[in-house]
């Protein structure tokens, strides 16, 4: 577990050193990446809501809302969205995007379905819903603070 | 409107009168006023309906440069855009007499010199209600290799001037989306009219919740649902080779084989596929302006967005009803039902007394299952009941790679409660879930008792519709069931 967590932080460090400022990676990063996100996602408004075990930053545009969930230490452990489109996951997942992409590519397409779940070693990405209200979330199970019910992440 | 056939005899009189007028000419008497010239022709009755086998008399009225009008029925040259659907006589004794040959729509034109006028005639088979579309679940309207619980309809798409039409089967009936989308491969003989976006072509990218997407130009078509009059609406012509794929559509489906359908008919409770958000912001991720290979995000007026064609019908535009027979536990090979257009507009769509669930602005309600309240929606385009919070002891998930489905050892009888927006009415819905493997290893392909897990909310997919009449009230319209958006059953 410690090793996994170390990998997570390594991912952050790599992003910060090598990819910034052109990439807006956020999952697993600290809160200051959110300002970059709201630009990349053309968000019109941004608000912060503080709950007992985490804080939530909400970015709203005319068509899509993205919520980023922060640990008390300020690290983004989950993102959730809803709107007319899915947000650009390469922005929200940052350096986890490649891991998501390869896990997603291995998954067989199932027709007739209005949902998808992709699980990789460190990441869970789920989408659900219908036209004009597509919903989804991505989270790092290892970083979800103790006592937070996944049901709240949506 | 219906109208009675009249004798063509009077047309002869008109011809005679015309001949009488024609000789007089402007060469006498030193008058300096130029002879009035023909400016336009109007063909009436407009949007007429005829039953197959019957005839009706059409009239061409000319308007001249001095604002005078004249009946030109006998002197005009008459033609029909689709003689397989309706013919029009150009014989001197019966000019303008239209005969309905088969069900459909045709454009009837009258021409004098270089001036022409036209109107649409809608033809239908006597005794067949114009507002009923057959639905088959894995039956004759679906492609042979269809996936389980797929409801299919047939839609006729025409050029805007009705000069050519094509009837396309294997169209997924989808109450979870809005508007008609058809693969270009399915309508090779049509020339639809591209919706402009500035100097470019309006193009759409729609994403679905399973991560798939559809890309292609937005074009105006005349769409015929059942034997209803054709409606002019923007549709999406699905074509992943058009322009260049933007980020949200990089995985756009290239063919009906990849999507699992030749087209998709979105008839949920909303009108447009994007709505007000796409009117305001160009970076909406749905609409693009393509000039050659360059496609950039664009704003789009509501009228140019892909839209639910039911909302554009002249009469049956306030909603629709999906009607499927009940299916026993264990399933059946295929199922025949119907999509009935309009609510309480005719004798065949008058509801008994269903419970009406107002939805929120997204078309959603709330559903409580195992004491947990989550978002719920009614979707014929989902092929199972997908819901969260199941007790694994009661509803274990099937082992991978079938972990999209529940695998209880025996059929489970379950209950969920639907709650209208914003809090009433409430009603308990009983449903069954059987073992996925037991079902799919049977010869059957249509199941009322199939379901799987969800981590968000309750997706009332096709099994919910079996044995029910489910009404979808369109936003901004009213019926005796109330003001849309609502779902009633």
Specify the pLDDT at position B25.
40
Specify the pLDDT at position A44.
64
Residues B138 and B258 in one domain: yes
> At A16, is the secondary structure helix, strand, or coil?
helix
Residues B212 and B78 in one domain: no
Determine whether the interchain pair B277/A84 forms a contact, defined as Cβ–Cβ distance below 8 Å.
yes
Which residues of chain A have a CB within 8 Å of the CB of B401?
A: 108
Considering B105, B124, B143, which residue would you say is the last residue of a domain? B124
Residues B177 and B235 in one domain: yes
Question: Two tokens at B38?
Answer: 């023909």
Determine whether the interchain pair A108/B363 forms a contact, defined as Cβ–Cβ distance below 8 Å.
no
At B34, is the pLDDT very low, low, confident or very high (cuts 50, 70, 90)? confident
In a domain, B245, yes or no: yes
Considering B124, B152, B187, which residue would you say is the last residue of a domain? B124
d(CA B43, nearest CA chain A) in Å: 41
In a domain, B387, yes or no: yes
d(CA A56, nearest CA chain B) in Å: 19
The answer on pLDDT for B375 being more than 80 is yes
Residue by residue, DSSP assigns B119-138 as: EEEEEE-TTS-TTEEEEEES
Determine whether the interchain pair A128/B455 forms a contact, defined as Cβ–Cβ distance below 8 Å.
yes
Contact of B118 with B105, CB cutoff 8 Å: no
The answer on pLDDT for B419 being more than 60 is yes
Span B293-300, average pLDDT = 97
Domain count, chain B: 3
Span B144-170, average pLDDT = 96
Taking the C-alpha atoms of residue B370 and residue B375, their distance in angstroms, rounded to an integer, is 14
Specify the pLDDT at position B7.
38
Specify the pLDDT at position A102.
95
| Lowest mean pLDDT segment, chosen from B337-341, B452-456, B483-487 | B452-456
Residues B386 and B474 in one domain: yes
In a domain, B330, yes or no: no
Residues B137 and B117 in one domain: no
Residues B50 and B108 in one domain: yes
Considering B124, B140, B175, which residue would you say is the last residue of a domain? B124
What percentage of residues in chain B have a pLDDT greater than 90?
A: 86
The answer on pLDDT for B265 being more than 50 is yes
In a domain, B322, yes or no: no
Task: Return the CATH number at B184.
Answer: 2.40.70
Q: What is the pLDDT of residues B204-242, one digit of tens each?
A: 999 999 999 999 999 999 999 999 999 999 999 999 999
Specify the pLDDT at position B3.
46
Contact of B238 with B216, CB cutoff 8 Å: yes
Specify the pLDDT at position B63.
97
Residues B107 and B137 in one domain: no
Residues B388 and B454 in one domain: yes
Specify the pLDDT at position A52.
86
In a domain, B244, yes or no: yes
The answer on pLDDT for B89 being more than 50 is yes
Contact of A71 with A145, CB cutoff 8 Å: yes
Residues B257 and B401 in one domain: no
Of A86, A114, A134, the CB nearest to B459: A114
Residues B250 and B147 in one domain: yes
Determine whether the interchain pair A127/B211 forms a contact, defined as Cβ–Cβ distance below 8 Å.
yes
Contact of B256 with chain A, judged by CB distance below 8 Å, is answered with no
ipTM of the complex: 0.84
The answer on pLDDT for B369 being more than 70 is yes
Specify the pLDDT at position B21.
38
Specify the pLDDT at position A14.
38
Beta strands in B329-406 (DSSP E): 335-341, 356-358, 365-369, 372-378, 385-387
Which residues of chain B have a CB within 8 Å of the CB of A132?
A: 178, 270, 273-275, 362-363
Compute how many other C-beta atoms are within 10 angstroms of the C-beta atom of residue B32.
5
Contact of B181 with B286, CB cutoff 8 Å: no
Task: Return the CATH number at B85.
Answer: 2.60.40.1080
Determine whether the interchain pair A63/B278 forms a contact, defined as Cβ–Cβ distance below 8 Å.
yes
- What phi and psi, each to the nearest 5 degrees, are found at residue B438? -55, -40
Contact of B428 with chain A, judged by CB distance below 8 Å, is answered with no
Taking the C-alpha atoms of residue B115 and residue B94, their distance in angstroms, rounded to an integer, is 21
Q: What is the pLDDT of residues B480-489, one digit of tens each?
A: 999 999 999 9
Percentages helix, strand, coil for chain B, rounded to the nearest 5? 10, 40, 50
Determine whether the interchain pair A131/B285 forms a contact, defined as Cβ–Cβ distance below 8 Å.
no
- Give the pLDDT means over successive 10-residue stretches in chain A (154 positions): 47 40 58 63 75 90 91 92 93 92 91 93 95 96 93 87
d(CA B468, nearest CA chain A) in Å: 21
| Lowest mean pLDDT segment, chosen from A87-101, B136-150, B285-299, B306-320 | A87-101
At B20, is the pLDDT very low, low, confident or very high (cuts 50, 70, 90)? very low
Span B301-318, average pLDDT = 97
d(CA B354, nearest CA chain A) in Å: 24
A-contacting residues in B 443-472 (Cβ below 8 Å): 454-457, 459, 461
Residues B462 and B388 in one domain: yes
Specify the pLDDT at position B103.
83
Residue with tokens 């006589």: B89
Within 13 A of B269's CA, how many CA atoms are on the CB side? 27
In a domain, B176, yes or no: yes
* Residue B119: closest CA among B272, B230, B269: B230
pTM of the model: 0.85
In a domain, B226, yes or no: yes
Q: Cis omega before residue B45 (within 30°)? A: yes
Computed over every residue of chain B, the mean pLDDT equals 92
What percentage of residues in chain B have a pLDDT greater than 70?
A: 93
Residue of B nearest to A115 (CA): B210
Of A62, A128, A150, the CB nearest to B209: A128
Residues B278 and B365 in one domain: no
Within 13 A of B474's CA, how many CA atoms are on the CB side? 25
Taking the C-alpha atoms of residue B450 and residue B383, their distance in angstroms, rounded to an integer, is 8
> Which residue range is the domain that position B387 belongs to?
347-488
How many residues does this entry show for chain A?
A: 154
d(CA A26, nearest CA chain B) in Å: 19
| Lowest mean pLDDT segment, chosen from B5-9, B210-214, B256-260, B452-456 | B5-9
In a domain, B119, yes or no: yes
Residue of A nearest to B270 (CA): A132
Taking the C-alpha atoms of residue B138 and residue B90, their distance in angstroms, rounded to an integer, is 46
The answer on pLDDT for B6 being more than 70 is no
The answer on pLDDT for B2 being more than 70 is no
């Amino acid at each position: 577990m410690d090793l996994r967590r170390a990998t997570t932080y390594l991912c952050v460090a790599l992003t910060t050193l090598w990819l910034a400022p052109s990439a807006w990676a956020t999952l697993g990063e600290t809160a200051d990446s959110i300002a970059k996100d709201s630009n990349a996602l053309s968000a019109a408004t941004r608000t912060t809501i503080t709950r007992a075990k985490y804080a939530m930053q909400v970015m709203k545009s005319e068509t899509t809302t993205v919520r980023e969930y922060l640990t008390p230490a300020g690290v983004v452990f989950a993102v959730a969205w809803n709107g007319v489109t899915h947000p650009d996951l390469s922005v929200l997942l940052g350096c986890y995007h490649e891991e998501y992409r390869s896990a997603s590519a291995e998954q067989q397409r199932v027709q007739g379905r209005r949902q998808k779940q992709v699980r990789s070693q460190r990441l869970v990405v789920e989408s659900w819903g219908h036209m004009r209200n597509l919903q989804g979330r991505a989270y790092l199970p290892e970083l979800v603070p103790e006592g937070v019910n996944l049901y709240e992440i949506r | 409107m219906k109208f009675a056939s009249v004798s063509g005899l009077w047309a002869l009189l008109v011809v005679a009168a015309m001949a009488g007028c024609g000789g007089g000419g402007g060469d006498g008497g030193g008058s300096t006023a130029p002879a009035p010239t023909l400016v336009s022709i109007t063909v009436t009755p407009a949007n007429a309906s005829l039953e197959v086998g019957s005839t009706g008399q059409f009239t061409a009225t000319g308007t001249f440069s001095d604002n005078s009008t004249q009946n030109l029925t006998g002197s005009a040259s008459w033609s029909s855009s689709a003689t397989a659907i309706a013919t029009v006589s150009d014989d001197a004794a019966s000019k303008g007499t239209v005969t309905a040959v088969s069900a459909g729509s045709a454009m009837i034109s009258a021409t004098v010199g270089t001036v022409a006028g036209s109107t649409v005639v809608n033809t239908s088979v006597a005794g067949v209600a114009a507002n009923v579309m057959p639905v088959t679940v894995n039956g004759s309207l679906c492609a042979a290799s269809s996936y389980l619980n797929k409801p299919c309809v047939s839609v006729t798409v025409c050029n805007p001037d009705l000069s050519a039409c094509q009837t396309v089967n294997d169209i997924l009936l989808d109450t979870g989306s809005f508007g008609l989308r058809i693969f270009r491969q399915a309508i090779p003989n049509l020339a639809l009219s591209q919706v402009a976006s500035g100097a470019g072509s309006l193009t759409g990218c729609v994403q679905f919740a399973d991560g798939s997407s559809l890309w292609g130009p937005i074009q105006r078509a005349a769409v015929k649902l059942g034997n209803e009059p054709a409606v002019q609406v923007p549709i999406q012509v699905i074509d992943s080779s058009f322009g260049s794929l933007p980020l949200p559509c990089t995985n756009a489906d290239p063919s009906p084989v990849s999507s699992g359908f030749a087209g998709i008919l979105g008839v949920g409770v909303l009108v447009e596929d994007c709505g007000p958000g796409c009117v305001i912001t160009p970076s909406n991720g749905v609409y693009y302006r393509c000039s050659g290979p360059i496609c950039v995000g664009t704003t789009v007026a509501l009228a140019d967005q892909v839209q639910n064609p039911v909302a554009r019908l002249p009469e049956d535009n306030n909603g629709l009803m999906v009607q499927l027979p009940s299916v026993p536990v264990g399933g059946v090979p295929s199922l025949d039902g119907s999509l009935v257009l309009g609510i309480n507009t005719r004798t065949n769509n008058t509801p008994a007394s269903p419970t009406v669930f107002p939805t929120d602005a997204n078309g959603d309600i709330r559903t409580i299952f195992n004491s947990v309240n989550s978002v719920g929606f009614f979707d014929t385009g989902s092929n199972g009941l997908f819901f969260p919070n199941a007790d694994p002891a009661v509803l274990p998930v099937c082992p991978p790679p079938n972990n999209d489905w529940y695998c209880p050892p025996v059929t489970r009888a379950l209950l969920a409660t639907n709650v209208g927006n914003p809090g009433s009415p409430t009603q308990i819905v009983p449903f069954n879930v059987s073992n996925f493997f037991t079902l799919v290893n049977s010869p059957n392909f249509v199941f009322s008792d199939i379901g799987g897990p969800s981590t968000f909310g309750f997706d009332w997919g096709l099994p919910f519709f079996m044995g029910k009449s489910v009404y979808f009230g369109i936003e901004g319209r009213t019926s005796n069931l109330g003001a849309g958006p609502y779902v009633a059953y």
